Amino acid sequence: MSTPDSSNELWYTFRQGDERAFQTIYRLYAHDLLNYGRKVTNDVALIEDSIHDLFIELWQSRANLSDTDSIKFYLVRSLRNKITRTRSRDPFFQASDVDALTFDVDDIGIENKLIEDEELRHVYEQLRKSYERLTPRQQEALNLRFYQHFSNEEIARIMGVNYQSACRFIYSALKTLREAIRIFSLYLAWISMEQYLH
Amino acid sequence: MNYCQLNAEDLAADDYFKEWVCSPTPETNAFWKSFLSDYPERYYQVEEARQLVAGLEQIEKRPTETVRVDALWNRIEDSLDTYRIIPAERWLTRSIVWKIAASLLLFLGVSWVGQTAFKQTELSLQPFIQPANDWVETLNEASQVMHIQLVDGSRVTLQKGGHLRYKSQFSGTKREVYLTGDAFFEVTKNPNKPFVVYANGLVTKVLGTSFRINAPTGAPTVTVDVKSGRVSVYPNQSGQAQDPESKGLVLTPNQQAVFHRDEAKLDKSLIENPDVLLSEKEAERFVFDDASAASVFRALEKTYGITVIFDEEVMQDCTITMSLDRESLFQKLDVICRVLDAEYKLIDAQIVIYSKGCSGSRNKPIHPSQ
């Protein structure tokens, strides 16, 4: 869901050396980059360092950059490469770091205010519990798909897997989550029937 | 795509379906409504898929970390600044000044040793302690903007072709700089030493704030746009008995002064696209349900730091039902005035509303979002 027209122009102005365009690009995508970074590593300092380096390099090499259809795609993919490269250089990095990705329940956002409907809130709560049991790669793919709104093709390129694998991550995750919702919906139906009978 | 055979996860994985859930349009609404009336038995699949997509968007959302975004930007800017100062200027402000300071120090040290050795206490050292204080001139000939950090910590963003003259040390009671061209100033607060910019006959005086001055060489006007704080502007007329500042204007955020050089006349207005002055937390939502015109105007005043003048008595029956979250100030005013059958004028940086009042039934609620 990128808007290629305006973003093309912004990218062009930035490459001409316009600092306002540069800052606009940062402001537009910093939140998404910080958000996505958490899918790749739990190390917040590493995420911020990588975003810092990414933007410094971006500014310094602006004259040599090529056209891009989607600035966001370019930034997200560069950030992921940067984080994984730094990590692979780090001798203390253990592969288990990825598996240990968990959520701080208070930290993440089901924003209760937004969900006024009590029943819907239960469904989301259930959804979140099942979500946390998904693999890190499934979670990453879902983030790219349903929060960052990338296409499956772009997700495959960002994650460095082939198209079929990207689709499989998403589809298998959706299937697991849907089952969780369905069980819960049945339970809700049963509860209301109980009330009805008594 | 044959949607009637898809189950919930197929639908959730579909681009068109996701687009409908995340950002529905009248077309997509109509499409899925007619789909459900054609295939009512697919209701549960659609509902489950909708919950999945909407729920996932919620789960992935994190509290917005504006503070971290800002802090990180400052870090990026600081790193870039170290590359950006042009060599000539760096040589001038760093090298020479420090060399002089270093030789002075050496000289002082030597003379102090000499002094204590010979106990010549009569010799006054005062004249030597004066730091080097020369005018520094910076002309931005580069194709990009230039960032200049002044000795008091204030920052100036000088646009292409801009020319700034300032002292390497701010001595005396004022911090004075001279500008031609276009520059944005972020001035460090110091109530004891006002910061004064002289630009093509216009004086801009502040204590600590951020603002932009556009004073192209030879142009008939100078404009000052205020972003934060309070700024006093006045024509540069020396040799008059009266304090020139009393002939000037005081500007608050979102206001603009235009100085016409030939007439030495100052006009006050609003900047072209006023910013929301409240923080994200404080900002009110512009969603009104049968709200009085007075409350809507008060919300505008608070959000943009402006003054709205209207006749409360005449407009007491005027109510507004609409949502105007995304529109700019002037777009909001256009819509409000259209709904109320009123007009507005911008006079002296104030919004004046002309209305003949409302007779209850005439103003129909409108919902731009539908």
Which CATH number covers residue A165? 1.10.10.10
- Name every chain A residue with its beta carbon within 8 A of the beta carbon of B86: none
Q: What tokens does B349 get? A: 């940086």
pLDDT, averaged across chain A: 78
- Token duo for residue B61: 């959302």
Question: For residue A119, what pLDDT is reported?
Answer: 66
* DSSP SS3 for A33: helix
Q: ∠ CA B217-B220-B224 to the nearest 5 degrees?
A: 80
The token pair at B229 is 């704080």
Domain span at A155? 104-198
CATH of the domain at B143: 2.60.120.1440
**CA atoms of B122 and B143, how far apart (whole Å):** 56
Check if the beta carbon of residue B268 is closer than 8 Å to that of residue B244.
no
Q: Which of A71, A86, A101 is the last residue of a domain?
A: A101
A38 — contact with chain B (CB < 8 Å)?
Answer: yes
Which tens digit of pLDDT belongs to each residue from B19-50? 899 888 888 889 998 888 888 888 888 888 88
Domains identified in chain B, total number: 3
Q: Are residues A90 and A76 in the same domain?
A: yes
A77 and A158 fall within a common domain: no
Interface of A with B in 85-144 (CB under 8 A): 107-111, 114-115, 120, 123-124, 127-128, 131, 142-143
> Is A95 a residue whose pLDDT tops 60?
no
Among candidate residues B44, B60, B76, the one where a domain is terminated: B60
Exposure string for A79-116, b = 16+ CB within 10 A, e = fewer: bbebbbebbeeeeebeeeebeebeeeeeebbbeeeebe
Distance CA B294, CA A10 (A): 40
CA distances to A4, A72, B2 from A68, in Å: 9, 9, 33
- How many Cβ atoms from other residues are within 10 Å of residue B125's Cβ? 11
Read off the pLDDT of residues A44-77 as tens digits, 9 standing for 90 and up: 888 999 999 999 999 988 888 887 778 899 999 9
Bridge-partner residues for B182, per DSSP? Answer: B214
Are A2 and A19 found together in one domain? yes
B143 and B264 housed in the same domain: yes
Q: Is the pLDDT of residue A104 over 60?
A: no
The B-side interface with A (CB below 8 A) comprises: 8-9, 12-13, 15, 18-19, 22-23, 48-49, 51-53, 55-65, 68-69, 72-73, 75-76, 79-80, 83, 143-145, 157
- Using the structure block, give the residue that is written with the tokens 């409000």: B336
A55 and A125 share one domain: no
The whole-number mean pLDDT for each consecutive block of 10 residues of chain B, a chain of 370 residues, reads 83 90 89 88 86 85 76 86 51 52 64 51 38 71 84 88 84 85 88 86 84 87 88 75 75 89 85 83 79 89 88 87 84 89 88 83 46
Are B150 and B253 within one domain?
yes
Q: Kindly report the nearest CA distance between residue A128 and chain B, in angstroms.
A: 7
Give yes or no: residues B228 and B299 share one domain: no
Instruction: Examine the fold and report which residue of A72, A101, A130 is the final residue of a domain before the chain moves on.
Output: A101
Which domain CATH number covers B331?
3.55.50.30
- ipTM of model: 0.77
Task: Give the residue numbers spanning the domain of B246.
Answer: 133-270
Tokens matching residue B189: 């607060």
Q: How far away is chain A from the Cα of B279, in angstroms, using its nearest Cα?
A: 16
C-alpha distances (whole Å) from B75 to each of A48, A105, B86 are 10, 30, 20
- As a whole number, mean pLDDT of residues A81-87 equals 86
Lowest mean pLDDT among A2-11, A20-29, A94-103, B325-334: A94-103
Whether B75 maps to a domain, the answer reads: no
| Other CB atoms within 10 A of residue B33 CB | 10
